[in-house]
Amino acid sequence: MNILGIESSCDETAAAVYTDDGLQSNIIASQAVHEQYGGVVPELASRAHHKTIWRTVQQAIDEAGITLSDVDAVAVTQGPGLMGSLLVGLCFAKGVCLSRDIPLLGVNHMDAHIYANFIDDTPNYPFVSLTVSGGHTQLVHVKDTFDHQLLGQTRDDAAGEAFDKIGKLLGLPYPAGPEVDKRSQHGDSRFHDFPQAMLDNNFEFSFSGLKTAVKYFLEDQEDRQQFLDDHLNDICASVSRAITDVLVKKLRNAVEHTKVESIVLAGGVSANSMLRSKAEELAAEQGVELYIPKLAYCTDNAAMIAITGHIMAEQGMYADMNLQPFASLSR
């Protein structure tokens, strides 16, 4: 089957084609309009999706070497995400399906992050997924295809959200998470011990206190700007250690609890270099296989939507034209 995947949950307009021979294209149109606001503006995001979705889809189809007539089904992000952004992608996907009389597949964005690991690899079931992004932080026991048990999640800020908010406190440009990671590679992670919350709770996370701790730490400095000029990389490294230590400790708990032989990283924060390194150490320590997507498949993209749709099609998990978007996982 030739699956067209469409992703528009936040501020990336993306399209991809996945066939029985694998991924054929993966196009992402980013939205620079949000940089001046230091975060995603939902109304501007949906408008930008509306302007770019057709040419993004067309580019994905052209790069795959097929035509729209060759598409057998359309997989589209159903949620979670920004409602306006989701509606643009979903309405476009329905239009394609109705015009071509082909089936629709509604994809859970968080599931897609997990199945991004199947683009280049084939993780063995069961496995534990540490899914970390700007909006979610979860530990999921994946027992089989779409047989998922949520072990725990964040009670407040997600890990990616913490990176971005702390980066903003440090004066870094949006999105700050990748910049914090880049600078942390040149800093001393032992420069300061920032708090690590909820270590006694096996699978739950909390990162809002870390953001507050960094805020007060900076306010305590006599010359804040000079302090940042001298130690910005060290602070980034220390913040990265605090976040990734918690993530990996919880992942270890999950591996020991479930007795799985494979673990996967998923979501935008799985691109973080310190997290990747610590996950590799954990995998070696526990004697388990580790799977991490290529960097291109970590952040929001349509390749993960297309492959998840391909797996859903094999399971006969089609939707109808009454498919509705959902903004959060608590639907």
49 annotated to bind ligand: no
113 annotated to bind ligand: yes
Residue from 161, 139, 162 nearest 150 by CA: 139
11 annotated to bind ligand: no
320 annotated to bind ligand: no
- Give the residue ranges of DSSP H helices in the chain: 42-64, 83-100, 109-115, 159-169, 176-184, 208-219, 224-258, 273-286, 303-314
Rounded Cα distance, 256 and 247, in Å: 14
Rounded Cα distance, 80 and 330, in Å: 9
Burial class (CB in 10 A: 0-12, 13-18, 19+), 50: middle
131 annotated to bind ligand: yes
193 annotated to bind ligand: no
257 annotated to bind ligand: no
177 annotated to bind ligand: yes
User: Which residues, 6+ apart, have CB-to-CB distance to 112 below 8 Å?
Assistant: 7, 77, 304, 305, 307, 308
Burial class (CB in 10 A: 0-12, 13-18, 19+), 38: middle
Residue ranges at the known binding site for substrate:
131-135, 164, 177, 181, 272
Residue ranges at the known binding site:
109, 113, 131-135, 164, 177, 181, 272, 300
Residue ranges at the known binding site for Fe cation:
109, 113, 300
